[in-house]
Chain A
Amino acid sequence: MLDKHAKLERNALAFVFAIIFVASIGGIVEIAPLFTIDETVEEVEDMRVYTPLEVAGRNIYIREGCYACHSQMIRTLQDEVERYGPYSLAVESQYDHPMLWGSKRTGPDLARIGEKYSDAWHVAHLINPRDVVPSSVMPSYAWLQRNTLKYEDLGLHLSALRKVGVPYTDEMIENAAQDAYGQTRPDSDGADGFLERYGEDSNVSAFDGDPNRITEMDALVAYLQILGHLTDVAQQTSSPEQQTSNLANGD
């Protein structure tokens, strides 16, 4: 045995391969099987894709580093479920490339923030968090309201996402820019085409309060308002007990 080791130590290439093999055992055992185990990602019928505007908002979320202070992962712990809602399921981030689960919470978890507050609140809060939450330590993101959104190339973003498995249709990719525009203009023809492609339940709204411009604020608020609403499966699988009450249990 010791002799063989001496031989291996003297063969640089073989030693490199031996190191790679040993170092990857953890991954082979813990990660690789997740690709074959049936339970890893739940199968749901009602899972919808991010709209082009929401994709743009997601890109802004990543650009501004929101994930550094906000997680998007409600863990299977009682206090988290009581505060934030049903624990996160893998399928809910099925179309997240990359996923934004995060691991640090300076601010609250955002996995189910969608529809918890109004668009107007999000806009006021992003412009100056202290205006609505006096104790907040979040920075101001007022420029999002001034920056016009670059939406012409959203089709390319969608087709890149399709390459990694998000089921966008040719039609969605072709009309991505118009759909981003239509989603912010409730009374326009663009909104009709958008709803036809993404479903009647999609949010159409002048998210930033100004229907005449499409800003980065529009995109980010659209994204925040869909968090937790890509599928209703988490609500359905949770037990009735937890639906009847959301009180923190801290006394």
Chain B
Amino acid sequence: MTKPERDPYTGLMTTGHEWNGIKELMTPVPGVVKFFLAITILTAVLFWILFPTWPYGTGYTKGILNIDQRGLVEEDLTRSAALRATWEQKFSTTEFAQLEADEEAMALVRTHGARLFEDNCSACHGINADGGPGFPSLIDDQWLWGGDAETINETLRVGINTQHEDTRFGEMPAFGDQGMLDLKQRRALTSFVISLSRPDELDQKNMERLPEGKELFAENCASCHGDNGKGIKDVGAPNLTDSFWIYGGNADTIQATLKHGRKGVMPYFEQRLGEADRRLLTLYVRDMGAQKNE
């Protein structure tokens, strides 16, 4: 190491390091940087005191403010729940009929219900609640389990064919896969089912199958779909005499339904949504249907 010396060109001192004749100017870190570095370190010390910081074995210092993220989010949630309670409470305590007559309540339903519907229901039932193949429309005033508010609310709570202990249970058996009806019988039944809603679509060949189909229907289907095929809401069996179909009403789809069965699932929302939210959604769904049918 050589001695520091003054560089004749810049007037600055050198560091005293020399590498094969190359020397380095002494340009120390500016004072302002050192100042803020010191501030940073002091701030760190302050944080050590205020917030959870230092680990020791099985624990850590909690800091004198005793703040943790979980506590903060619980506070936020409690605060917003209290804010909501002012208008939300009536949805869990008032009768549905009364709420539906209350314009002010229904205005709330339309704003807040839309958001709940979009996040929880629209994935299956569609953003306009008009359903899709396999997922029923909610605005056609056709209901598997019943369309009054209490029933819809209960369906939301327990779902259909779910893990919920009170779940609604409905299943169309796989008559083909389980060997209960052979192909000829299923064809006859298909013709008969089509004849319930669209008799003029059937050609001569189909017409000939009807007597057999009718007999098979009485033996196999009437217990759920009713003697006249109009469906039984207690078991969630759809009306087969109208023009509304969940999976499709053409011959091929009815054949597939008879062969493989159907067991549509509606998730339960008791865990995911609170009671007020579920009741609000119930009102929203009914309101969408009412507006559509106006």
Contacts and interface: CB of A to CB of B under 8 A. Distances in A.
A239 B78 contact: yes
B77 A132 contact: no
A169 interface: no
Given A37-B59, A37-B60, A247 B123 contact: no
Nearest to A209: B260
Contacts of A17: none
Interface in A194-251: 201, 203, 235, 239, 241-251
Given A116-B267, A133-B123, A36 B55 contact: yes
Contacts of A119: 265
Given A37-B60, A76-B72, A247 B127 contact: no
A118 B60 contact: no
Interface string A27-40: 00100011011110
Interface string A112-143: 00011111110011000001111000000000
A247 B266 CA distance: 21
Contacts of B11: none
Contact of B276 (A29, A83, A245): A245
B285 to A, nearest CB: 16
B84 A115 contact: no
Interface in B47-63: 55, 57-60
B90 interface: no
B88 A78 contact: no
Contact of A245 (B162, B267, B277): B277
A121 B135 contact: yes
A87 interface: yes
B81 A244 contact: yes
B274 A246 contact: yes
Contacts of A250: 115
A78 B76 contact: yes
Size class of the A contact interface (CB-based, 8 Å)? 35 or more
A245 B55 contact: no
A182 interface: no
A133 to B, nearest CB: 6
B112 A242 contact: no
B116 interface: yes
Interface of B: 1, 55, 57-60, 69-70, 72-74, 76-78, 80-84, 88, 111-112, 115-116, 119-120, 122-124, 126-127, 132, 134-135, 162-163, 264-268, 271-277
Given A115-B163, A244-B274, A76 B73 contact: yes
A239 B80 CA distance: 13
A81 interface: yes
Contacts of B115: 247-248, 250
Contact of A33 (B60, B82, B162): B60
16 contacts: A33-B55, A34-B55, A37-B60, A78-B77, A78-B80, A81-B77, A87-B73, A115-B267, A131-B132, A133-B123, A235-B271, A241-B81, A245-B81, A247-B84, A249-B83, A249-B84
A201 B116 CA distance: 28
A155 interface: no
Given A244-B275, A246-B272, 6 more contacts: A82-B77, A115-B268, A118-B264, A120-B265, A132-B132, A241-B77
Interface of A: 6, 29, 33-34, 36-39, 76-78, 81-83, 85, 87, 115-121, 124-125, 131-134, 201, 203, 235, 239, 241-251
B267 A36 contact: no
B70 A87 contact: yes
Contacts of A76: 69-70, 72-73
B55 A37 contact: yes
A85 B267 CA distance: 15
Contact of B162 (A39, A82, A115): A115
B73 A77 contact: yes
A111 to B, nearest CB: 13
4 closest Cβ contacts across the A-B interface?
Answer: A33-B55, A118-B265, A241-B81, A244-B274
Given A120-B265, A132-B132, A245-B277, A36 B57 contact: yes
A134 B127 contact: yes
Contacts of B80: 78, 82, 249
Contacts of B265: 118-120
Contacts of B126: 132
B267 A118 contact: yes
